[in-house]
């Protein structure tokens, strides 16, 4: 970066930052006030999970106590990001007839606008087409203000510098040379590094090292001194701290995650240290670059009137009305289908099924469920959270720690280890020793290839020997890397590996600590009971019950975990399905359930499976444990699954740009995509999600939902105390909302809430992504996961929730769960219910139910 572009000569330069503090009389700031402001700022930051466990997170998590409309204004004002599409988007939807006049009128009614339809359309037409930025944003950092006034690039430099040091400090093993001060707290480590770093001074920030060394060693003391020097109004300190953190929003989110499962105090302390680092750079600008007039002008910006009183606030209001109208238009086809299904709903079939298949509520499962149901009228599918109610930490063979296999809102309660079936102690020891030897050799070989002294000579000498492998990988004929779960294992061993569910105590690795794994019988019975009740599967068991988790097959894709099961913490659902099936097949568990009035027939068997959402193949597990008298049922199941996979691939093919004439060619094509290291869209993930439905499958089985709806089975008649509904609304519904809002945010403002262009991604520290070779840690989804190059593949709408239950049951849940009520009342999602008595839909608006008629328009 050109240093001349960063620096300028101020007109009224002064000697020290303390001069400004004395000028504004802010030396009276107290630590408790600072800490309170920091705590408020920290709660606005949503966590960012690492790539290995990448799960969808609501980026507006810290704003959920505000209404959606208020959050739109606040987010834009703070520079956090735009929460609405540009005016041109809504104008185009109206021009082509997608948004209708009735939608706009209804949206104005819901938002409380007193405009006429004509006024709204005129104002929409007069808005700038694409410019959504706020003119004269008062919530600037000092670096932002100097850049705007003088054309410098201090904000960019500061973000790059902080990102550089955070990447070194938080690195999880990617770098060959580690930061020597990683054992110190973040702020202390950065001060040690800054003492040697001349980059800011070379960029024009004179005496930077001396300025930083003169700051207090404790971060809270440093923050207090800096804020006093800045002279910001005490009433805006929380906004000022929040804005500082937003300039390194990605790293702020990562720090927030680091202590997400620890304690609020630790989270506050970690973000406090990052805040101290960011403020230190603005402090250095006050000391060396900014004039007194610059600081005074910047400070005055923080005294500006609220945005709602400006023309920009009025423009936001129009866009908010149009966003609501757009969402009403998107809901119309869904309510049209529901109205048709409600009118023709048939009684529940009492005949025993040959197969019940339980899938994750993930929207991709909807396509496969429909395909499977067409195979026979003796098949019933159900929707349930993909971890199947088993919050476990799954420890892979030869490891002493595992990964959480449950939604991020939960913590694992049980540790499950892998073992090799029918292996004695000697064989198991040999397998473990061989696996770790191979892994160590692979690490040494990788270290040699990447080392500074050997990388070039290695390529010169050995490069041609890899030509064949490089060619086959490039053509998608082979997989560039082995799947981590089977790395270091012989092929004939892989199929013998499975979970051990019984309670055991011992070492998982040589010389490791003694740990307890497995699940005690009483806990297994309780988990099984809750899982079956959550599936609304208390009776009428089929001969085979398939518990089908899901995962995705991709290579060279840092966001691979984002395509796996969110309910399993960004992992595939294989482990949960196998553990759940093993528990439900356990004779002792069934005996315990029978004493509680829940009887599983002796001729019912639970089978674990995994749906690969890239290839639409379903793999079955632990088949050697299935009794021989299920052999014909198993053959029939395999045939049904093969045919359903073919139908699902054919339905998804056009969206992937594949021809679907020849089934065999299509199968090869999707399989090749899963191995293609240049493929930027191996599948579409959860793009297009618009709704969450909790109801019996009979409500939705008569029509196509096009892979856009989360489907959760729910029978309110089996839920007399609303306990199951409470669980659904406080867990799966919230997770679905998180997913929806992440896709929404990444679409409306990918620059701030997304991760940009996949082709420019670089993995940093195995933690996350940089777009290019610098800048902030990116959050959210890449643009290629949302847009096919021509049109948006994800419509930016808030989630529509449809629940079949009496009004009083839903209202009871809202009354008992403040966070859920907050999501609903503040319009972060749209709540609708199907009344089981009159078969009509009702929308929840301002704490009242309003009938939905005429395909989504209220009466």
Q: How far apart are CA 412 and CA 403, in angstroms?
A: 9
Residue located via tokens 């009137």:
305
637-652 tens-digit pLDDT: 999 999 999 999 999 9
Question: Count of H helices and E strands in the chain?
Answer: 33, 20
76-114 tens-digit pLDDT: 889 899 999 999 999 999 999 999 999 999 999 999 899
Contacts 24+ apart (CB under 8 A), 672-676: 672/476, 672/477, 673/476, 673/614, 674/553, 674/554, 674/555, 674/612, 674/614, 674/615, 675/473, 675/476, 675/477, 675/478, 675/479, 675/480, 675/553, 675/555, 676/476, 676/555
399-458 tens-digit pLDDT: 888 999 999 888 899 999 998 887 877 777 787 777 777 767 776 666 666 666 566 666
Q: How far apart are CA 617 and CA 49, in angstroms?
A: 28
Is 362 part of any known ligand binding site? yes
672-727 tens-digit pLDDT: 999 998 899 999 999 999 999 999 999 999 899 999 999 999 999 999 999 999 99
> Which distant-in-sequence residues (6+ apart) come within 8 Å of 114 by Cβ?
none
Q: How far apart are CA 93 and CA 99, in angstroms?
A: 6
Q: Closest Cα to residue 380, out of 834, 696, 64, 21?
A: 696
182-210 tens-digit pLDDT: 999 999 999 999 999 999 999 999 999 99
* Cβ burial 23-34 (10 Å sphere, 16+ → b, else e): ebebeebeeeeb
Considering the chain, what percentage of its residues have pLDDT values greater than 70?
87
Contact 135, 333 (CB under 8 A): no
User: Which two three-digit tokens encode residue 97?
Assistant: 């007839």
What pLDDT does 10 receive? 41
Contact 609, 620 (CB under 8 A): yes
Pairing state of beta strands 691-694 and 709-712?
A: parallel
What pLDDT does 137 receive? 55
pTM of the shown model? 0.92
Contact 368, 457 (CB under 8 A): no
What pLDDT does 176 receive? 72
Is 360 part of any known ligand binding site? yes
Q: Phi, psi (5° rounding) for residue 463? A: -55, -45
Q: How far apart are CA 346 and CA 639, in angstroms?
A: 28
Q: How far apart are CA 385 and CA 361, in angstroms?
A: 6
User: pLDDT class for 27, splitting at 50, 70, 90?
Assistant: very low
778-809 tens-digit pLDDT: 999 999 999 999 999 999 999 999 999 999 99
Residue located via tokens 């050799």:
441
pLDDT: which is higher, 44 or 175: 44
Considering the chain, what percentage of its residues have pLDDT values greater than 90?
70
Q: Closest Cα to residue 695, out of 390, 361, 407, 336?
A: 361
Q: Closest Cα to residue 779, out of 1, 237, 45?
A: 45
User: Residue by residue, what is the 3-state secondary structure of 172-240?
Assistant: CCCCCCCCCCCCCCHHHHHHHHHCCCCHHHHCCCCCHHHHHHCCCCCHHHHHHHHHHHHCCCHHHHHHH
379-400 tens-digit pLDDT: 999 999 999 999 999 998 888 8
Q: Phi, psi (5° rounding) for residue 709? A: -130, 135
What pLDDT does 824 receive? 97
User: pLDDT class for 2, splitting at 50, 70, 90?
Assistant: very low
Per-residue pLDDT at 467 exceeds 60: yes
What pLDDT does 298 receive? 92
Is 550 part of any known ligand binding site? yes
Q: Phi, psi (5° rounding) for residue 620? A: -105, 150
Contact 407, 586 (CB under 8 A): no
Per-residue pLDDT at 304 exceeds 80: no
Specify the range with the lowest mean pLDDT, choosing from 49-53, 251-255, 435-439: 435-439
Average of per-residue pLDDT across 615-634? 96
Question: Average model confidence (pLDDT) for the chain?
Answer: 88
Angstrom distances, CA of residue 528 to CA of 395, 501, 533: 21, 13, 9
User: Which two three-digit tokens encode residue 326?
Assistant: 């757009």
User: pLDDT class for 267, splitting at 50, 70, 90?
Assistant: low
User: Residue by residue, what is the 3-state secondary structure of 596-637?
Assistant: CCCCCCCCCEEEEEEEECCCCEEEEECHHHCCHHHHHHHHHH
Residue 696 CB neighbours (<10 A): 19
Q: How far apart are CA 782 and CA 776, in angstroms?
A: 15
Specify the range with the lowest mean pLDDT, choosing from 161-165, 339-343, 567-571: 339-343
Pairing state of beta strands 857-858 and 768-771?
A: unpaired
Q: How far apart are CA 623 and CA 360, in angstroms?
A: 21
130-156 tens-digit pLDDT: 655 454 456 899 999 999 999 999 999
User: pLDDT class for 172, splitting at 50, 70, 90?
Assistant: confident
802-854 tens-digit pLDDT: 999 999 999 999 999 999 999 999 999 999 999 998 889 999 998 999 999 75
Average of per-residue pLDDT across 361-386? 97
Q: How far apart are CA 450 and CA 445, in angstroms?
A: 9
């Amino acid at each position: 970066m050109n240093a001349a572009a960063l620096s300028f000569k101020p007109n009224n330069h002064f000697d020290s930052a303390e001069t400004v503090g004395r000028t504004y009389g802010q030396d009276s700031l107290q630590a408790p006030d600072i800490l309170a402001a920091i705590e408020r700022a920290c709660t606005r930051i949503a966590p960012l999970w690492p790539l290995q466990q990448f799960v969808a997170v609501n980026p507006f998590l810290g704003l959920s106590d505000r209404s959606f409309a208020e959050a739109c204004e606040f987010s834009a004002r703070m520079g956090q990001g735009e929460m609405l599409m540009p005016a041109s988007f809504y104008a185009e939807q109206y021009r082509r007839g997608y948004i209708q006049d009735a939608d706009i009128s209804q949206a104005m009614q819901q938002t409380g606008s007193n405009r006429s339809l004509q006024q709204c359309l005129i104002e929409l037409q007069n808005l700038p087409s694409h410019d959504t930025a706020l003119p004269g944003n008062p919530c600037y950092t000092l670096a932002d203000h100097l850049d705007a006034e003088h054309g410098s690039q201090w904000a960019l430099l500061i973000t790059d510098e902080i990102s550089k040091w955070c990447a070194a400090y938080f690195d999880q093993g990617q770098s060959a040379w580690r930061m020597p001060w990683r054992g110190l707290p973040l702020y202390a480590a950065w001060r040690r590094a800054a003492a040697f770093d001349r980059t800011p001074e070379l960029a024009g920030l004179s005496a930077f090292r001396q300025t930083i060394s003169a700051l207090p060693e404790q971060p809270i003391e440093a923050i207090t001194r800096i804020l006093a020097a800045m002279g910001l109004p005490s009433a805006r300190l929380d906004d000022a701290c929040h804005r500082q953190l937003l300039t390194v929003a990605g790293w702020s989110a990562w720090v927030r995650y680091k202590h997400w499962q620890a304690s609020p105090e630790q989270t506050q302390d970690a973000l406090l240290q990052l805040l101290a680092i960011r403020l230190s750079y603005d402090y250095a600008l006050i000391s060396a670059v900014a004039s007194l007039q610059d600081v005074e002008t910047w400070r005055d910006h923080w005294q500006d009137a609220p945005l709602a009183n400006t023309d920009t606030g009025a423009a936001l209001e129009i866009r908010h009305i149009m966003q609501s109208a757009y969402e009403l238009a998107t809901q119309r086809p869904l309510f049209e289908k529901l109205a048709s299904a409600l009118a023709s709903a048939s009684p529940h079939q009492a005949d025993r099924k040959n197969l019940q298949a339980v899938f994750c509520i993930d929207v991709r499962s909807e396509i496969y469920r429909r395909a499977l149901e067409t195979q026979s009228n003796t098949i019933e599918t159900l929707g349930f959270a993909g971890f199947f109610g088993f919050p476990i930490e799954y420890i892979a063979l030869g490891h002493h720690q595992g990964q959480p296999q449950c939604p991020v809102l939960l913590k694992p309660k049980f540790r499950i280890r892998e073992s090799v079936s029918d292996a004695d102690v000697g064989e198991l020891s040999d397998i473990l020793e061989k696996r770790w030897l191979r892994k160590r050799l692979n690490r040494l070989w990788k270290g040699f290839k990447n080392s500074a002294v050997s990388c070039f000579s290695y390529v010169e000498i050995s490069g041609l020997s890899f030509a064949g492998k490089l060619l086959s990988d490039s053509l998608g004929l082979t997989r560039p890397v082995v799947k981590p779960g089977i790395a270091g294992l012989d092929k004939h061993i892989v199929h013998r590996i499975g979970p051990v569910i019984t309670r055991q105590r011992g070492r998982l690795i040589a010389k490791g600590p003694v740990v307890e794994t497995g699940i005690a019988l009483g806990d297994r019975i309780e988990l099984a009971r809750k899982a079956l009740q959550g599936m609304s599967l208390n009776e009428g068991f089929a001969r085979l019950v398939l518990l089908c988790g899901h995962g995705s097959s991709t290579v060279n894709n840092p966001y691979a975990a984002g395509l796996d099961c969110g309910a399993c913490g960004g992992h595939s659902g294989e482990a949960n399905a196998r553990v759940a099936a093993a528990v439900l097949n356990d004779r002792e568990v069934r005996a315990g359930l029978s004493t509680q009035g829940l009887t599983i027939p002796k001729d019912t068997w639970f089978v674990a499976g995994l749906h690969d959402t890239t290839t639409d193949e379903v793999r079955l597990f632990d088949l050697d444990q299935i009794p021989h008298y299920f052999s014909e049922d198993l053959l029939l199941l395999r045939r049904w699954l093969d045919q359903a996979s073919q139908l699902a691939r054919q339905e998804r093919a056009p969206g992937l740009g594949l021809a679907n004439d020849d089934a065999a060619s299509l199968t090869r094509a999707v399989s090749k995509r899963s191995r293609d290291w240049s493929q930027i869209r191996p599948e579409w993930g959860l793009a297009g999600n618009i709704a969450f439905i909790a109801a019996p499958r009979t409500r939705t089985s008569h029509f196509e939902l096009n892979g856009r709806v989360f489907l959760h089975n729910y029978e309110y008649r089996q839920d007399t105390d609303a306990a199951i509904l409470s669980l659904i609304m406080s867990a799966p519904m919230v997770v679905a909302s998180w997913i929806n809002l992440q896709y929404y945010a990444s679409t409306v403002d990918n620059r701030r809430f997304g991760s940009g262009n996949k082709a420019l991604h670089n993995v940093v520290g195995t933690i996350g992504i940089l777009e290019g070779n610098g800048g902030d840690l990116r959050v959210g989804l890449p643009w290629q996961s949302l847009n096919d190059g021509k049109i948006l593949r994800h419509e930016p709408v808030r989630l529509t929730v449809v629940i079949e239950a009496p009004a009083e049951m839903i209202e009871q849940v809202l009354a008992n769960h403040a966070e859920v009520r907050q999501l609903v009342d503040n319009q972060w999602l749209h709540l609708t219910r199907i009344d089981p008595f009159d078969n009509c839909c009702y929308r929840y608006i301002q704490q009242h139910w309003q009938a939905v008629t005429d395909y989504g328009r209220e009466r």
